[in-house]
Amino acid sequence: MQPYELTATEAAALIAARKLSCEELARSTLARIEERDPVVRAWSYVDRDMVIRKARELDKTPPASPLHGLTFGVKDVIQTVDMPTQQNSALYVDHQSGQDAACVAVVRHSGALIVGKTDTVEFASGGRMAASRNPHNLAHTPGGSSSGSGAAVGDKQVQLAFGTQTGGSHIRPAAFNGIYGIKPTHGAVSREGAKNYSHTLDTIGWYGRCVEDLQLVAREFRLLDAEFAKPVQIKGLKVGLYRSPAWELADAYAREALFEAGRRLEAAGAIVTELTLPAGFDRLDDAQQIVMRGEGRGAFLPDYLGPKRHMLAQHFLDIVGNSTKITPAKLVAAYDLAAECRRTFDGMFGADLDVVLTPSSPGEAPEGLSSSGNPVFNAMWTLLNVPCVGIPVGVSPRALPLGIQLVGPRYSDSQLLEIALACAPAIHVKQDGKLTPLKAEVSAMA
């Protein structure tokens, strides 16, 4: 096994035992990138010499945490002191912010090796699509807007990577690339230094190759519930299987992925029951769009008024110009609905419910690069501000990964990761080291 193939958790143990150097891991990672990036196109910036130089410095430095020397990609809407932050925008070519975003500073101070910037949909919103391709089937998108981060981790070009989510930009690429991802509770991780789109929705998350990888990073962010989280036994775990209001948009593979995950959890001893939510939850997808575009007007106004306005895609002109006719009353109603549903959802957990199991995407990654996929199975959870963990389930006949997400109440991030740790071995079943094929027909849970 080459060093780049190691999970973050495996590499951390070897580095701590001095059986693997940071430079060895870095060189293996760079070789993998050089081999695969010409076709996968996950990266917008990598400086090989700088990566090796910083890896050597890490080898001279006592480890500050288990992240020491682990390879990290950064979505290119998140600032880095030593690399450009271009946001896939003609307005920001070679732009150098001169500082690290808060999330980058945390992992860098913890010893992580920042390898480069990963490609993204423009401003993590719309306009220009990323050049990145799905590493499992190059004819398909890796999802977005965290396109390059999902593809880089999914192709084992890097062990960990930051993404962001305002609608479905983080969890959906996790499903499309067959990897693990966490979208934390909104506000649990500082988003200072990341491009602002919607200040009540934007959330920093990260990808890994297993739940343990996600936990390595989570510990460095000192999440609010970390000291209260407890190990979980899957036997007796109360799982609410939720189809979501967009169920009619789920293809046969998305439906089978959800039901198969439920069956596998039941077989492992979990108590899986269908979950229904009050009628107001059916309106959360529309409310999320209102909040996102309503707050996005202010976020994109500076570029709209600037001297390079002619370089802005019509998508951003429409947002600033309020093409969807959002009124103050509509925005306030969306905020109020979100607040009401947040209280209701949080209150459902306890004696009868430990975690929600729900789709991550409408199904397979779309063919082509003109669309990064529909966020309809993610937007409501983003608006609810709740933590979500994406877990792979299987693949379609076209080798395209399929996944589900586990959802918990606000500020249950560490506990949700413990639940995911217990559930992942049952959900993420492999055959010969690969995700299991799923059948297209939808069957009821047995």
Catalogue the active-site residues.
75, 145, 169
406 to each of 192, 325, 342, 388, 428, how far by Cα in Å? 26, 34, 16, 6, 13
230-246 burial: b if 16+ Cβ within 10 Å, else e? eebebeebebbbbbbbb
Cα–Cα distance, 256 to 425 (Å, whole number): 18
- Cβ partners under 8 Å of residue 26, min gap 6: 51, 52, 54, 55, 69, 71, 113, 115
215 to each of 67, 166, 226, 317, 419, how far by Cα in Å? 11, 22, 10, 40, 12
Measured distance between the N- and C-terminal CA atoms of the chain, rounded to whole angstroms: 38
DSSP type of residue 80: B
Residue recorded with tokens 């966020």 = 375
Cα–Cα distance, 232 to 329 (Å, whole number): 44
Cα–Cα distance, 223 to 207 (Å, whole number): 16
Structural contact between residues 157 and 41, judged by C-beta atoms closer than 8 angstroms: no
> What's the longest Cα–Cα distance across the chain?
61
Amino acid identity for residue 9 in this structure: T
Query: Would you say the C-alpha torsion 243, 247, 250, 255 has a positive or negative sign?
Result: positive
Question: Could you give the 3-state DSSP secondary structure of residue 141?
Answer: coil
292 - beta bridge partners?
none
Strands 434-435 and 430-431: what pairing?
antiparallel
Question: Could you give the 3-state DSSP secondary structure of residue 44?
Answer: strand
